[in-house]
Amino acid sequence: MTDTDNLVLEIYRNVARIRAAELFLQTYIEEHGFGGFWHPGLGQEGLQAGAVQALRRSDYLFQAHRGLGYALSKGLSFERIFADLLGKTTGTVGGKGGGTVHFVDPALGILGQGGTLGSNFPLGVGAALSAQILGEDRVVAIFFGEGAAARGTLYEAALQAGVWKLPVVFVCENNGWAISAPFERHSPTKNVADRAAAFGFPGIVVDGQDAVAVHAAMSEAVERARGGQGPSLIEAMTLRLRGHYEGDRQRYRDDEGALDPVRSRDPVDVLRTRLDAEQYEPIDRAADEEVEAAFALALAAPDAGPEVAFKDVWAE
């Protein structure tokens, strides 16, 4: 197999794993409910896996809230992810989770997740600044939706990252919907990527349903960042297949009859066109088995006790 074949297989493995987990969770939430809100990433698995694949383990990841694809692709195990979702002490936040949680694992470069959208721009650029000050060759990837791109925090952080040529890649997942608002309603221009010009770095639009295309764009941006040439913004055009949260009835949404034919392609199908059935079928089966086994383990883990609510305020 060529390097390209290997890369496609590696990306596919993560895309299939994310998809298996997304579908599993959808069913689980329908049947059992959940101690919080789950923001599904269904339909966005390709770009999440493709982009994170271009990072090293030592690179830093600042996730968005949609799904578990970022953390999984960066190396976090299903067992810990599910334990977080279920509020178990074996999760990354030691039982402080439940529903949409704040996956964290500094050893994997996974530096938490914000509850206030757009707050990860200053944090991520700060982490990049830290790398520059310490002379490390780390790169920071900051994921955000086109909705969060409206925040002034992007303006401040991107401006300062541009001035100091910091090693950052801003990855916008443009899925067309900020809860109930279609992108046209809160953007005067067609693309978030256009905004990068104001900060003096490239803004690239890429087909977010093609994981390999996202990986290629991301690799170039990461190389640029690592080489000291500064930030980039990648806007991956994708589609939110489900509601804002699992259970959202989406009465505001009327795009079902007029889905963009490119953006509504399934990222799993797009990748499969590059593979043979005998290549992806075992991966799919293994992914389902992995998800079920990991979920069972997470479910059996201890629940968070009352003491969890009162600890971790201070470093002693």
Residue type, 283: I
Q: Which is nearer to other proteins, 92 or 191 (CB)?
A: 92
* Smallest distance, other proteins to C-beta of residue 272, A: 36
Nearer to other proteins, 107 or 277 (CB): 107
Three-state DSSP class for residue 113: coil
Q: How open is the CA angle 54-267-182, to the nearest 5 degrees?
A: 100
DSSP string, 200-217: TS-EEEEETT-HHHHHHH
Closest approach of other proteins to the CB of residue 316, in Å: 8
Q: What angle do CA 60, 64, 65 make, to 5 degrees?
A: 135
Q: How far is the CB of 159 from other proteins (least distance, A)?
A: 6
Closest to other proteins by CB, 38 vs 199, is: 199
User: Between 135 and 188, whose beta carbon lies closer to other proteins?
Assistant: 135
Residues forming the site for other proteins (CB under 8 A): 60, 91-96, 102, 104-106, 111-112, 114-116, 119, 121-134, 152-153, 156-157, 159-160, 163-164, 311-316
Non-local CB neighbours of 172 within 8 Å, separated by 6+ positions: 144, 145, 146, 149, 192, 193, 233, 234, 235, 236
Amino acid present at 244: H
How far CA 50 is from CA of 18, 32, 162, in Å, comes to: 12, 31, 25
In the bound state with other proteins, the residue whose beta carbon lies nearer, of 115 and 261, is 115
* Nearest approach, Cβ of residue 147 and other proteins (Å): 16
Q: Residue 129 CB, nearest distance to other proteins (Å)?
A: 5
